[in-house]
Structure 1
Amino acid sequence: MATLIDAKEFAETEFDYIVVGGGTAGLAVASRLAEIPTLTVGVLEAGKSGYGDDNIDIPAYSGRALGGPYDWHFKTTPQPGLGGRTLPWNRGKILGGSSALNYMTWNRGSKEDYDAWEELGNAGWGWDSLLPYFKKSERFHPPPPEFKDNHQASYNKPNSILGEDGPINVSYTRDFSPSHALWHAAFNEVGVESNPAHLNGSNVGVWTTIVAVNPETATRSYAAHYCLSPPKNLHILTEALVEEVILKKDGGEGEWTATGVRFSHYGRTYVASAAREVILSAGSVQSPQLLELSGVGRPDILGAAGILLKVESPNVGENLQEHIIDPKLPHPDDLFDEEIAAAAYEQYQREKSGRLTVLPCSMCYLPVSKLAPKEELATLASKSQQLEHFGPEQASILSRRFSNDKQLGQVEFVFDLGNWNPSFTPDSDGERYCSLLLVLQYPFSRGSIHIAPDTGPNTDGRPPTAHQQPEIDPQYYAGPHGELDLEIMLHGAKFAQKICSTKPLKNIIPGPASPSSDVVSDEDLRSWIVENTITDWHPTGTCAMGGRVRKAGGVVDERLKVYGVNGLRVIDASVMPLHISAHLQATVYAIGEKGADMILEDAGLRGQ
């Protein structure tokens, strides 16, 4: 594992680059920069290392770390679109970031998802340009030959579409839940084809996903593994919270320049300097928070918080987009007996196999045209032509996704054993449940993340700090176009009910648990959706690339440089201008890989 450094030594080191956030993107960036031996690179991570912790490493324990010591414990503001509910927003406070807490799904969005970024004027961010960076992060382990037929584990040849020597191990699980064999057949029965090439630019169809697991050790593979054998010029300080990016003007005139950061470590404050650049990789929640705390953002937000405005940037913290889940609960036969947990752990330790290697891997992505009747699809398409909240280019891209000929995965379906619905309480201890998750991929709702005003209940009239969580307001099903999201989820819920009543999946499902069989009308189903929607932990867009409209539409340019500040970039999921139809981690690694490459290119160091 990486050799860590103490705070005093870190502050006294002359860095070329300082990376704020040792998470999914941040460690990818830092490790690639440190491959140039003449550079000195520092990483500041607020969390601890979780190396060797079973709750991080064991695949089937995924989710156990949520809400624990490796979690930021963020919460949203009360959401009117969810009946006033407040949702937990788990994010990784750990070396490795959220890649240490997630469910390890490894997939990519559609080719059109990334080409849309380029269409907005962000040169170099289309599918063809990003594919080498996807591959650069990956080390794909082909499955045993029998998996192709027994578990629908199909893929393109590794040398054409999957990376072979990257730091993140990706593979098919070595064991599968007993229900997985029924998944493909149920979708095939209703006319949905299996997609053996789901990583090659189209994820539409039903398929078995690969996961970020090293099959040789049967353990999670995550961002901290970029730094298992770090060079001497890479310095990592954990439990260090960055409170401000230090911005200065030469002679008090001209543009602002980032010269370093102020951070706290065990109650003491330090300053560290960066001769070349500061890179924010603090994620979609904390990268905009740090920009605002440093004086970059909207005048009204900073003024209300008592923060001196240095660089006006109207889109900092805006454009928040998030995948959302409705966890439907069919009620299956007895498929898993928790009493054998101890035996499963013993088998895992002994053989690195068995139930503790099983992860959710039954996936399907479908366009709305597959879910909604023609007349209702036409109504949705008509509404999508009236997107006043978006600029003309974004509005055009979003409305085209309702075309009958568009094969884009607007809703994801995931099947897994167990109860995934935090709002549902089982009738008795003897009941067994499975969950069919439907996940909205292209939200029309737009929210925001901003620092709180200094008149807030926890500020005592003082400006907010990095120790306080910002105000997270996703605006689920709300705002100018939020009703479109609710209608898409309604059609997704109806399709989920259809799948659960289709053989062979129907054979293991005696009946529905949530929503119950009493929920029949569209009105009742909408109410159930509002009452049960939760986050999918995929926030994006709060420091988006501005494209052709630049600062009027975003926070960073296509080189990920913050508008109006020299020597400062943002490299993480927050730079995505439009959401993608995929779980995020593979894309965030690719953003980190590409971001590092651009830094080296701009510095004239690429290829050294």
Structure 2
Amino acid sequence: MSIPPNNPREFASQVFDYLIIGGGTAGLVVASRLSEKPHLKIAVIEAGLAVFDEPLINEPELFGEAIGTKYDWQFETEPQPGLAGQRVPWPRGKVLGGSSALNFLVWNRGHKEDYDAWVAMGNQGWGWDDLLPYFKKSETFHEPSLSEQEKNYSYFEASSHGIEGPVKTSHIQRFAPSLKYWHQTLENLGVEVNRQSYSGANAGAWNLISAFDPAAYTRSFSANRYYLPVSQRPNLFLLTEATVEQITLEKHGEEWIAKGALVRYGEEKFIVKASKEVILSAGSIQSPQLLELSGIGNPEILTAAGIPVKVANPNVGENLQDHLLTTFVYEMRTPSNSPDVNLLPPQKVEETSDGPKVEEPSRAFLPGPAAYCPLFRMLTNEELEDITTRICPEILKSTKARETRLRDAFLSGKMLGAIEYIWYGETIWNKAFKGEPGKKYATIVQMLQYPFSRGSVHIPPMRDSRPITVDEKPIIDPQYCVGDGKIDLDVMKVGQMFADKICATEPLSHVIAGRVFPAKADNDDDDADVIDDYLRNNIGTEFHPIGTCAMGGFEGAKAGVVDDKLRVYGVRGLRVVDASIMPLHISAHTQATVYAIAEKAASMVLEDERSE
């Protein structure tokens, strides 16, 4: 598992063909694919460590426990007025592999209409049919046996999965005993079992696939699957623990051209040069941050930060969208034959001189039993009509593709999963709840998939006369549940009520006594107030920020930051490749989509390379 050692002087002395800023989920995909061409010289710069033997990352059932350690940037939002003034923690991977090293391993795809909506906005080549080959190219799917399919509801459509890609994927192999009740209960509520959930229609109840190697039983992430196997290529160079301070731009006539990056390594600063392109893959928070630090963005924000304006684009850092998440704990009626599992708070993590160390590793259940529920399955026709009237009038009247797409989830008969549920049977998945000895509990996690809330990520203004640098964290303001996003809170209230309904429906009701966190009130009116208060004080992130360097579609630089080739408007030789280019959110975890975006981006770069 050795990799070439850091050599900053080598980086400073060479000119690379392609410089990739960010060795995360997307950046390492691009590096791996471009370096397949031996005549190209590829460089990757990553701020975090390169680690391949860290249990917090490698062991699937320790998912989430690297959050808050040195492998995490540990961002947080501005206080959110729509959430009782909360500052919401936003973990992001600060390690080779990025957030694919920290996430909860979930590997799924959105609905076909999610991606086709991008095309409807004018982003040609980004529909479901366009992306499916890249979804498949990134994975090697390990099929469950026929008995596992039937026993665990681990269904799949073989033609929709890849068999030769770097990322190993598999259905999970260990379930809570109450799994056997989940799917039948959802069917009894009109939410059908979906046997082809990865084929472009993901609504229904099914079991999630995870990014892990079932043979080695280790996490499969971009560092160990895309980078490590090719790390010895003589044309691939990696510099870790290095900070990019800005992208270097040169003006030729009226045109700005990306030429490299200003890099800090320890006490040294130097320019890393790129002769063909700089590819920015720093993620939805730091890609717009670096564009602004480089003079690309809203002139008012840049001027306030002391940054000279080179390319004016007020869309940089805007259009921030995120999936909202809450958890609810239920007491189990009868003891099960499973051990007690308390997923949160995590097992004790100690910071040692050698890094984070876990004592007594837990055996938590990986995310498995899930459901993507359309609103019309959760509400009566009258209730659906009522909640639709609460959508902002301007959005209700708009004919734009974005607003039309958001409204679609409120249509009766529209099979779009507005709320995702994950069932953690025999598990406490809420750090604020302490169970009673001798009792067992289950948790439902609900996640809003089509948020109306839109916010921003920007560098802060100067506090004195010194221009802002990369060391000052950006201002993250997702604007949760305010303005147009007020409807998001209403939808999550619907989600909570339906979660209670799931647990009160046979056969799951046989083993669920009732909701204990938040404690259920004696009557429905009082309970509605309990739910409202709980949501405002406990909504968090599903860790899926997107959109801050979005594709502009038909409106180009008037609405976005990059074109449909992911080239930054107004700059030659600069692309953005990560979740920030997504113009509109999807009803899925973002990991698999980011891999597909990166695979497609690498193909586009090589296509341009061939046409030169």
Note whether the superposition's TM-score is higher than 0.5.
yes
- Among 413, 420, 424, the alignment partner of 2:429 is 420
Q: Secondary structure at the match of 1:404?
A: coil
Distance in 1 separating the partners of 2:183 and 2:549: 38
Choose the corresponding residue for 1:405, options 405, 413, 423: 413
Residue 185 of structure 1, CA deviation: 1.7
Mapping of residues 142-541 of structure 1, within 5 Å:
142-157=143-158, 160-224=159-223, 225-230=225-230, 231-250=233-252, 253-332=253-332, 333=335, 335-337=338-340, 356=363, 358-384=365-391, 386-387=393-394, 392-416=400-424, 417-422=426-431, 424-426=432-434, 428=436, 431-455=439-463, 460-479=464-483, 481-518=484-521, 520-521=524-525, 522-541=528-547
C-alpha spacing 1:605/1:241, structure 2 compared with 1 (3 Å): farther
CA distance in 2, matches of 1:338, 1:205: 27
2:400 and 2:144 map into 1 onto residues whose CA distance is 45
Amino acid across the alignment from 1:420 = W
Aligned to 2:606, the other structure's residue is in SS state: helix
Contact 1:107 1:582 in 2 (8 A): yes
Decide whether aligned partners of structure 1 residues 338 and 482 sit closer, same or farther in structure 2, where only a CA change above 3 A counts: closer
Report the Cα offset of residue 50 of structure 1: 2.4
Alignment partners' CA distance in 1, 2:249 and 2:576: 15
Q: CA deviation at 1:430?
A: 5.1
Shift of 1:385: 6.9
Q: 1:314 to 1:283 in 2, by over 3 A?
A: same
Distance 2:189 2:43 in 1: 53
* Partner secondary structure for residue 564 of structure 2: coil
What secondary structure, in the 3-state scheme, does the structure 1 residue paired with 2:469 have? coil
Match of 1:135 in 2: 136
2:550 to 538, 541, 544: 544
Deviates more, 1:312-321 or 1:323-332: 323-332
| Distance in 2 of aligned mates of 1:548 and 1:155 | 36
TM value normalised by structure 1: 0.93
Q: Which moved more, 1:594-603 or 1:377-386?
A: 377-386
Q: Give, in whole Å, the separation in 1 of the partners of 2:174 and 2:132.
A: 29
SS of the residue aligned with 2:154? coil
**Which residue pairs with 1:584 in the alignment?**
590
What secondary structure does 1:419 align onto? strand
Query: Which has the higher mean CA deviation after the structures are superposed, 359-368 or 388-397?
Result: 388-397
Contact preservation (8 Å) 2:341, 2:428: no
SS of the equivalent of 2:429 reads: coil
How far does residue 505 in structure 1 lie from its aligned partner after superposition? 2.0
**Distance in 1 between residues matched to 2:56 and 2:385, nearest whole Å:** 47
Root-mean-square deviation (Å): 2.1
CA contact (8 A) 1:175 1:355 kept: no
* Aligned twin of 1:573: 579
Question: What SS class does the counterpart of residue 42 from structure 1 fall into?
Answer: strand
Decide which moves more: 3-12 or 316-325: 3-12
Q: CA separation of 1:13/1:357 partners in 2, compared to 1, >3 Å: closer, same or farther?
A: farther
- The structural deviation recorded for 1:406 is 1.3
1:515 Cα offset (Å): 1.8
Deviation at 1:405, TM superposition (A): 2.6
- Aligned-partner residue type, residue 215 of structure 2: E
2:331, 2:465 → 1: CA distance?
A: 52
In 2, the alpha carbon distance for the partners of 1:32 and 1:320 equals 29
In the alignment, what sits opposite 1:604?
610
Residue in 1 aligned with 2:17? Answer: 16
- Maintained 8 Å contact 2:388/2:410: yes
Distance 1:572-1:405 versus aligned 2 partners, 3 A rule: same
Query: Residues 232 and 430 of structure 1: is their aligned pair in 2 closer, same or farther, counting only changes over 3 Å?
Result: farther
Which whole-Å CA distance do the structure 1 matches of 2:555 and 2:179 have between them? Answer: 46
Structure 1: gaps (5+ residues)? 343-353
Provide the residue aligned with 2:124 in structure 1: 123
Larger CA deviation: 431-440 vs 165-174: 431-440
Q: Does the Cα contact within 8 Å between 2:255 and 2:570 map onto a contact in 1?
A: yes
8 Å CA contact retained: 1:174, 1:358 = no
Q: Which letter does structure 2 place at the counterpart of 1:323?
A: H
Contact 2:305 2:459 in 1 (8 A): yes
Distance in 1, Cα, partners of 2:507 & 2:467 = 59
**2:96 matched residue in structure 1:** 95
CA distance in 1, matches of 2:446, 2:270: 46
**Secondary structure of the structure 2 residue equivalent to 1:235:** strand
- 120-129 or 175-184: which moved more? 175-184
CA contact (8 A) 1:58 1:357 kept: no
**1:415/1:582 Cα in 2 relative to 1: closer, same or farther (>3 Å)?**
same
My pick for the range that moved more, 286-295 or 433-442, is 433-442
Q: Distance in 1 between matches of 2:394 and 2:495?
A: 22
Contact 2:341 / 2:427 at 8 angstroms: preserved in 1?
no
Distance 1:462 1:537, change over 3 A: same
Letter in 2 for 1:244: Q
Cα drift, residue 429 of structure 1: 5.4
**Residue correspondences, number:** 585
CA distance in 1, matches of 2:267, 2:258: 24
Residue 559 (structure 2) pairs with residue 558 (structure 1): no
Q: State the 1:517 CA deviation.
A: 1.5
Aligned pairs for 1:16-35 within 5 A: 16-35=17-36
Q: Which whole-Å CA distance do the structure 2 matches of 1:381 and 1:62 have between them? A: 37
Q: Distance in 1 between matches of 2:303 and 2:438?
A: 56
Counting aligned pairs with the same residue, the percent is 46
Structure-2 change in CA distance of 1:313 and 1:363 (3 Å): same
Cα offsets for 1:393-431 (capped at 9, x unmatched):
322222233211311111100111433224x23154555
Task: State the alpha-carbon separation in 2 of the partners of residues 103 and 583 from structure 1.
Answer: 10
Consecutive unaligned residues in structure 2, runs of 5 or more: 348-360
1:258 deviation in Å? 0.4
How far apart are the structure 2 equivalents of 1:260 and 1:114? 32
**Displacement of 1:554:** 0.6
Question: 2:62: which partner in 1?
Answer: 61
Aligned 8 A contact 2:341 2:363 in 1: no
Amino acid at match of 1:259: K
C-alpha contact 1:139 1:164 (8 A) present in aligned 2: yes
Q: How far did 1:593 drift?
A: 0.2
Deviations 1:279-324 (A, max 9, x none): 0100000000000000000011111111111000110000000001
Q: Matched residues in 2 for 1:140 and 1:357: separation?
A: 23
